[in-house]
Structure 1
Amino acid sequence: MKKVLYIVFYYPPIGGSGVHRGVKFTRYLPEFNWDSVVLTPDPKLIKQPKDYSLLNEVSPEQKIHHFFTLDARWLFKIFWGLKLPQVVNWLNYHIFKPDADILALPFLRFKISQLIKKYKIDLIFISGPPFSLMLNVLWLKKKYPLPVIVDFRDDWSMGQSRLDNPPPESFRKYEVNLEHQVLSKADKVIVANEAIKNNFLSLHPDLSAEHFVVITNGYDEKDFQKVFPPRETEKDKLQIVYIGSLYGRRQPGIVWQVLIDLVEQRKINPDKISIHLYGPNYRSFVFNGFENNKILEKMVNLHPYLPHSQVPRVMSQADVLWLFIGSGPKSDAISTGKIFEYMRSGKPIWAVINPQGIAADILKSSGLAFIADNENPDEIASSLVNLYKNWQEGKLTVQPNWDYIHSFERRRLTKKLAEVFEQTLTNVNNNNFYTSHQSLNGQS
Structure 2
Amino acid sequence: MNKSLILVTYYWPPAGGPGVQRWLKFIKYLSHYNYDITVVIPENPDYPVVDSSLNSDVPENISIIKVPIAEPSRWLGKLSRKRTKKLQRGILDKQPSWKEKIALFIRGNFFIPDARIGWKNRVVKKLRDRVNDSSIIITTGPPHSVHLVGLELKRMLSQLKWIADFRDPWTTIGYHKSLRLTRIARRKHESLEQKVLDACDHLLVTSEHTKQEFATKTHTPIRVITNGFDRAVNSMTQQPPGAFTMSHIGTLLSDRNPHVLWQVLLELTQENELFKSHFKLVLAGNGSDEILKSIKDYNLDSYLENHGYVKHDVAYSLMKSTQLLLLIEIDSKDTQAIVPGKLFEYLASRRPIIALGPSNAEIKTRVEKAKAGSFFTYDAKQDLKNHILSRFNDYLENKNTGIDATDIEQFHRKNLTHRLNQLINEVWE
> What TM-score do you get using the length of structure 2 for normalisation?
0.89
1:440 match: none
- Structure 1 position 142, deviation (Å): 1.6
1:324 aligned onto 2:328: yes
Distance in 1, matches of 2:376 and 2:326, equals 11
2:167 match: 153
Aligned match for 1:382, one of 381, 386, 396: 386
1:190 aligned onto 2:195: no
- Structure 1 position 248, deviation (Å): 4.2
1:106 aligned onto 2:111: no
Q: Is the 8 A contact 1:9 1:40 kept in 2?
A: yes
- Structure 1 position 279, deviation (Å): 0.9
Distance in 2, matches of 1:12 and 1:375, equals 40
Q: Is the 8 A contact 1:163 1:329 kept in 2?
A: no
Q: Is the 8 A contact 1:239 1:320 kept in 2?
A: yes
- Structure 1 position 264, deviation (Å): 2.2
Aligned match for 1:253, one of 259, 271, 282: 259
| Structure possessing the higher radius of gyration over alpha carbons | 1
Structure 2 counterpart of 1:186, one-letter code: C
Deviations 1:316-352 (A, max 9, x none): 2222211111202322111100001101111111112
Judged with a 3 Å threshold, the aligned counterparts in structure 2 of structure 1 residues 263 and 310 are, in CA distance, closer, same or farther, namely: closer
Alignment of 1:145-294 (within 5 A): 145-163=159-177, 165=179, 167-202=181-216, 204=217, 207-208=218-219, 211-222=221-232, 224=233, 235-266=241-272, 269-282=275-288, 284-291=289-296
Structure 2 counterpart of 1:285, one-letter code: E
Count the aligned residue pairs.
Answer: 412
Judged with a 3 Å threshold, the aligned counterparts in structure 2 of structure 1 residues 302 and 12 are, in CA distance, closer, same or farther, namely: same
Deviations 1:8-28 (A, max 9, x none): 111111010111101111011
- Structure 1 position 237, deviation (Å): 1.6
Distance in 2, matches of 1:164 and 1:76, equals 17
Deviations 1:231-261 (A, max 9, x none): 7xxx442122211011142223332222112
Distance in 1, matches of 2:295 and 2:256, equals 15
- Structure 1 position 36, deviation (Å): 1.9
1:116 match: 131
- Structure 1 position 301, deviation (Å): 1.4
Deviations 1:43-81 (A, max 9, x none): x43132110100111112232221111112223333355
- Structure 1 position 121, deviation (Å): 6.1
Distance in 1, matches of 2:247 and 2:58, equals 28
Distance in 1, matches of 2:134 and 2:255, equals 41
1:422 aligned onto 2:428: no
Deviations 1:182-206 (A, max 9, x none): 100001100011111112233x1xx
Structure 2 counterpart of 1:396, one-letter code: N
Structure 2: tracts of 5 or more residues without a match:
84-96
2:47 match: 47
1:69 match: 69
Q: Is the 8 A contact 1:262 1:268 kept in 2?
A: no
Q: Is the 8 A contact 1:326 1:374 kept in 2?
A: no
Distance in 2, matches of 1:25 and 1:111, equals 23
Distance in 2, matches of 1:165 and 1:381, equals 36
Residue 4 of structure 2 aligns to a residue in which SS? Answer: strand
1:92 aligned onto 2:107: yes
Structure 2 counterpart of 1:85, one-letter code: E
Distance in 2, matches of 1:155 and 1:121, equals 29
CA RMSD of aligned residues (A): 2.4
Residue 371 of structure 1 aligns to a residue in which SS? Answer: strand
- Structure 1 position 287, deviation (Å): 2.1
Among all aligned residue pairs of Structure 1 and Structure 2, give the percentage whose two residues are the same amino acid: 24
Which structure carries more helix by proportion? Answer: 1
Judged with a 3 Å threshold, the aligned counterparts in structure 2 of structure 1 residues 87 and 181 are, in CA distance, closer, same or farther, namely: same
Alignment of 1:396-411 (within 5 A): 396-402=400-406, 404-411=407-414
Residue 411 of structure 2 aligns to a residue in which SS? Answer: coil
